[in-house]
Amino acid sequence: MSTITLKVNGAAHTVDVEPMTPLLYVLRNDLGLRGPRFGCGLGQCGACTVIINGVATRSCVTPAGNVRNEVTTLEGIAINGKLHPLQQAWIDEQVPQCGFCQNGQIMTAKALLDRNPHPTDAQIREGMSRTLCRCMTYYRIQAAIKRVVKEVA
Amino acid sequence: MSSRRDFLKTSGALIVSFSAVRIAAPLEAAWQAPQTAGPYPDPDFRQLDAWIVVHQDNTATFYVGKTDCGQGTGTAFRQMMCDELDIAYDKTTCVMGSTDTTVDQGGSGGSDAIQTDGWPMRRVAAEARRVLLEMASTRFGVPVDALAVSAGVITVKADPAKRVTYGELIGGKQFHVALTGKDIDATTGRAAVKPVQDLKLVGQSPQRYDIPAKVDGSLTWAVDVKLPNMVHARNVKPPVAGAKLVSIDESSVRGLPGFVKVVSKGNYVAVVCEREEQVINAAKRLKVNWEKPAAAPFPASEDLFKYMRRATPTSSPTPTIIGKPDTAFDSAAKVIEAEYDVPFQGHTAFGPAHATADPSNGQMTVYSNDMKSYGMRNGIAAFLDMPRDRVRVIWMEGPQGYGRTAADDAGFEAAYLAKELGRPVRVQWMRNEETAWDTKAPAFACTLRGALDGDGNLVAFDYLARAADYNHVGYNEPDTVLIAQLMGTRRAKPAAGSASMPGEMYAIPNRRMAMQVVGLPLAWETPVRTGNLRDPNGPQATFASESFIDELAAAANADPVAFRLKLLTASTADDGGFKRARSIAVVKAAADAYGWDARPSPKPAGGGNILTGRGIAYAFRNQTVVAEIAEVEVNRTTGHVWVKRLVCAHDCGLVINPEALRHTIECGMLHGLSRALHEEVQFDAEKVTSVDWISSPTLSYADTPEKIDVVLVNGDPHPQRPDLPPYGAGETICKPMIAAVANAIFDATGVRLRRVPFRDARVLAALKAGARSSQHV
Looking at domain B301-345+440-518, its CATH class is alpha beta
Residue at which a domain ends, from A76, A104, A137: A76
Most B-contacting residue of A8, A74, A134 (CB-CB within 10 A), to test interface: A134
Q: What sections of B64-117 are H helices per DSSP?
A: 73-85
Work out the widest C-alpha separation in chain A, in whole angstroms. Answer: 49
Asked if residue A63 and residue A110 are part of one domain, the reply reads no
Looking at the fold, whether A63 and A91 belong to one and the same domain comes out as no
Q: Does the pLDDT value for residue B210 go beyond 60?
A: yes
Say what the pTM is: 0.95
Confidence of residue B7 (pLDDT cuts 50, 70, 90): very low
Q: What angle do CA B86, B91, B97 make, to 5 degrees?
A: 95
Minimal CA separation from B211 to chain A, in Å: 7
Across A78-93, average pLDDT? 97
To test the contact with chain B by mutation, choose from A75, A138, A142 the residue with the greatest count of B C-beta atoms within 10 A, namely A138
Per the document, the length of chain B is 777
* Integer CA distances (angstroms), B267 to B285, B483, B529, in order: 17, 9, 17
Average pLDDT over every residue of B568-595? 92
Q: Compute and round to an integer the Cα radius of gyration of chain A.
A: 15
Rounded to an integer, what distance in angstroms lies between the CA atom of residue B468 and that of residue B458? 30
Tens digit of pLDDT for each residue in A94-142?
A: 999 999 999 999 999 999 999 999 999 999 999 999 999 999 999 999 9
Question: A93 and A60: one domain?
Answer: no
Would you identify the CATH topology of the domain B222-294+353-428? Aldehyde Oxidoreductase; domain 4 (3.30.365)
**Per-position b or e across B120-140, b if 16+ CB within 10 A of its CB:** bbbbbbbbbbbbbbebbbeeb
A106 and A127 belong to one structural domain: yes
Q: What angle do CA B53, B54, B59 make, to 5 degrees?
A: 120
In this predicted structure, the answer to whether residue B389 has a pLDDT above a threshold of 90 is: yes
Q: Which residues of A touch B217 (CB under 8 A)?
A: 33-35, 73-75, 103
The 3 state secondary structure assigned to B549-560 is: HHHHHHHCCCCH
Rounded CA-CA distance B418/B415 in Å is 5
Q: Could you tell me what percent of chain B has a pLDDT over 90? A: 89
Binned at pLDDT 50, 70 and 90, residue B576 comes out as confident
Chain A residues whose beta carbon lies within 8 Å of the beta carbon of residue B693: 40, 42, 44-45, 132
Which of the four pLDDT bands, split at 50, 70 and 90, describes residue B447? very high
Name the residue among A29, A47, A142 with its Cβ closest to that of B350.
A47
Q: How much is the CA Rg of chain B, to the nearest whole Å?
A: 28
Backbone angles phi, psi at B110, to 5 degrees: 70, 15
For residue range B292-329, what is the model confidence (pLDDT) as tens digits? 999 999 999 999 999 999 999 999 999 999 999 999 99
CA distance B328 to B510: 7
Nearest chain B residue to A86 by CA distance is: B215
**What is the number of domains present in chain A?**
2
pLDDT bin (cut points 50, 70, 90) of residue B672 is very high
Does residue B23 carry a pLDDT above 50? no
* pLDDT band, very low/low/confident/very high, at B772 (cuts 50, 70, 90): low
Rounded to an integer, the average pLDDT of B262-284 is: 98
Co-location of A9 and A33 in the same domain: yes
Q: Which amino acid is at B213?
A: A
Contact between residue B547 and residue B739 where contact means Cβ atoms under 8 Å apart: yes
Mean pLDDT of chain B: 93
Residue B166 has pLDDT above 90, yes or no: yes
Q: How confident is the model at residue B36 (pLDDT cuts 50, 70, 90)?
A: low
Q: Do residue A11 and residue A35 come from a single domain?
A: yes
Check CB contact under 8 Å for A135 and B70: yes
For residue B34, is pLDDT > 60?
no
Q: Quick one: average pLDDT of B710-723?
A: 78
Examine the pLDDT at B423 and tell me if it is beyond 80: yes
Residues of B in contact with A128 (CB under 8 A): 701-702
Is residue A90 domain-shared with residue A132, that is, in the same domain?
A: yes
Over residues B145-166, mean pLDDT? 98
Same domain, A91 and A72: no
Strand B287-291 versus strand B268-273 pairing type? unpaired
Judged against a pLDDT cut of 70, whether residue B680 lies above it is answered with: yes
What does the pLDDT look like over B699-711, one tens digit per residue?
Answer: 999 999 999 999 9
Residue B415 CB partners (closer than 8 Å, separation 6+) = B355, B357, B359, B364, B366, B380, B383, B384, B391
Domain B556-772 has CATH 3.40.50.800: no
Residues A90 and A60 in one domain: no
pLDDT of the residue at B718: 73
- pLDDT, residue B442, reads 98
Report the C-alpha gap between B249 and B287 in whole angstroms.
5
Contact call for residues A115 and A69 (beta carbons, < 8 A): no
- State the pLDDT confidence band at B133, using cuts at 50, 70 and 90: very high
Note whether B215 contacts A96, CB cutoff 8 Å. yes
- What's the pLDDT at B29? 42
pLDDT tens per residue across span B627-649:
999 999 999 999 999 999 999 99
- pLDDT at residue B605 tops 90: no
Q: What is the DSSP string of B430-484?
A: -HHHHHHHS-EEPEEEEEEEEEE-TTS-EEEEEEEEEEE-TT---SS-TTTSHHH
**pLDDT value at position B159?**
97
Cβ separation of B215 and A129 shorter than 8 Å? no
Which of A24, A57, A76 is the last residue in one of the domains?
Answer: A76
Confidence of residue B26 (pLDDT cuts 50, 70, 90): very low
User: What number is the average pLDDT over the span B50-55?
Assistant: 97
Contact A136 B659 (CB under 8 A): no
Q: Which residues of chain B form CATH 3.30.365.10?
A: 4-215, 222-294+353-428, 301-345+440-518, 556-772
**What local confidence, expressed as pLDDT, does residue B697 receive?**
98
Query: Measured between alpha carbons, how far is residue B363 from residues B18, B382, B394, B396, B480 in Å?
Result: 16, 14, 13, 19, 23
β-pair type (A2-8, A11-17): antiparallel
Q: A105 and A69: one domain?
A: no
Check the CA dihedral B300-B306-B310-B314 and report its sign. positive
What's the domain range around A57? 2-76
Report the range of poorest mean pLDDT among B359-363, B422-426, B536-540, B604-608. Answer: B604-608
pLDDT at B20: 29
Q: Residue A44 sits in a domain of what CATH number? A: 3.10.20.30
CATH topology of domain B4-215: Aldehyde Oxidoreductase; domain 4 (3.30.365)
Instruction: Say whether the peptide bond before residue B325 is cis (omega within 30 degrees of 0).
Output: no
Q: What is the DSSP string of B363-392?
A: -EEEEE--TTHHHHHHHHHHHHT--GGGEE
Task: Report which residue type is found at A50.
Answer: V
- Residue A119 belongs to a domain with what CATH number? 1.10.150.120
Q: Of A57, A76, A95, which closes a domain? A: A76
**Half-sphere exposure (Cβ direction) of A67: Cα atoms closer than 13 Å:** 34
Residues A128, A72 share a domain: no
